[in-house]
């Protein structure tokens, strides 16, 4: 219905965790990408991120860039933003 407000809740993403590890370095980014994809597939109105988005309090430049790319690719678009 039009009055339904869909929220995706995710927490403790920890982007950048073990980012230098050749095997596990992409795990946190793949998990965050999945959260954003599922939210989009289910037509959520917004994603609420509780807990830590980044693993470090000063994320590396690479981690910040990848995070911004994921958010930009998933959140910006032609859809109207309206609240009643």
Task: Please give the pLDDT value at position 39.
Answer: 92
pLDDT tens profile 8-38: 999 999 999 999 999 999 999 999 999 999 9
Task: Please give the pLDDT value at position 78.
Answer: 72
pLDDT band for position 1 (cuts 50, 70, 90): low
Task: Please give the pLDDT value at position 45.
Answer: 85
Task: Please give the pLDDT value at position 43.
Answer: 87
Cβ-based neighbours of 80, under 8 Å, separated by 6 or more = none
Q: Are 10 and 50 in contact (CB under 8 A)?
A: yes
């Amino acid at each position: 219905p039009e009055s339904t407000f869909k929220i995706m809740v995710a927490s403790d993403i920890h982007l950048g965790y073990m980012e230098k590890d050749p095997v596990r370095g992409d795990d946190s980014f793949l998990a965050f990408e999945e959260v954003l994809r599922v939210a989009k597939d289910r037509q959520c109105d917004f994603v609420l991120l509780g807990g830590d988005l980044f693993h470090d309090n000063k994320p590396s430049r690479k981690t910040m860039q990848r995070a911004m790319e994921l958010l930009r690719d998933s959140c910006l678009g032609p859809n109207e933003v309206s609240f009643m």
